[in-house]
Structure 1
Amino acid sequence: MITMTNVTKTYKTGDVETYALKDVNLTIEEGEFVVILGPSGSGKSTLLNVISGLDTVTSGEIIFRGETLTNLDEDEMTAFRRKHLGFIFQQYNLLQNLNVYENIQIGSDIGTAPLDIADLLEKVGLEKARDKYPSQLSGGEQQRVSIVRSLAKNPDIIFCDEPTGSLDEENSKKILQLLQNLNEDYNKTVIVITHNLGIAEMADKVIKMNSGQIKEVTLNKVKKNAQDISWG
Structure 2
Amino acid sequence: MIIIRDVTKTYTNGDVTTDALKNINLTIEDGEFIVILGPSGSGKSTLLNVISGLDTVTSGEITFNSTALTSLSESEMTAFRREHLGFIFQQYNLLQNLNVLDNIQIGADIGKDPLDGQELLKAVGLQEAGNKYPHQLSGGEQQRVSIARSLAKNPDIIFCDEPTGSLDEHNSKNVLAMLQELNNNYHKTIVLITHNAGIAEMADKVIKMNSGEITEFIMNKEKKSAREISWG
Q: TM-score range by the shorter chain?
A: over 0.9
Report the alpha carbon displacement of residue 124 of structure 1 after superposing the two structures with TM: 1.1
**Distance in 2 separating the partners of 1:69 and 1:120:** 30
User: What is the percent sequence identity of the aligned residues?
Assistant: 75
Report the alpha carbon displacement of residue 201 of structure 1 after superposing the two structures with TM: 0.2
**Distance in 1 separating the partners of 2:92 and 2:67:** 31
User: In the alignment, which residue of structure 1 is the partner of 2:78?
Assistant: 78
1:228 is paired with a residue of what secondary structure?
coil
User: In the alignment, which residue of structure 2 is the partner of 1:215?
Assistant: 215
User: In the alignment, which residue of structure 1 is the partner of 2:160?
Assistant: 160
Report the alpha carbon displacement of residue 17 of structure 1 after superposing the two structures with TM: 1.4
- Is residue 191 of structure 1 aligned with residue 191 of structure 2? yes
**Distance in 1 separating the partners of 2:114 and 2:217:** 33
User: In the alignment, which residue of structure 1 is the partner of 2:55?
Assistant: 55
**Distance in 1 separating the partners of 2:17 and 2:124:** 45
Report the alpha carbon displacement of residue 101 of structure 1 after superposing the two structures with TM: 0.3
Report the alpha carbon displacement of residue 66 of structure 1 after superposing the two structures with TM: 1.4
Deviations 1:88-135 (CA, angstroms, capped at 9, x unpaired): 000000000000000000000000000111111111110100000001
**Distance in 2 separating the partners of 1:14 and 1:178:** 44
Kindly report structure 1 stretches of 4+ aligned residues shifted beyond 3 Å: none
Q: What value does the CA root-mean-square deviation take over the aligned residues?
A: 0.5
User: In the alignment, which residue of structure 1 is the partner of 2:43?
Assistant: 43
Code of the aligned partner of 1:131:
N
Deviations 1:171-204 (CA, angstroms, capped at 9, x unpaired): 0000000000000001000000000000000000
Report the alpha carbon displacement of residue 15 of structure 1 after superposing the two structures with TM: 2.3
User: Structure 2: where are the runs of 5+ without partners?
Assistant: none
User: Structure 1: where are the runs of 5+ without partners?
Assistant: none
- Is residue 112 of structure 1 aligned with residue 112 of structure 2? yes
Query: TM (normalized to structure 1)?
Result: 0.99
**Distance in 2 separating the partners of 1:196 and 1:67:** 32
Query: TM (normalized to structure 2)?
Result: 0.99
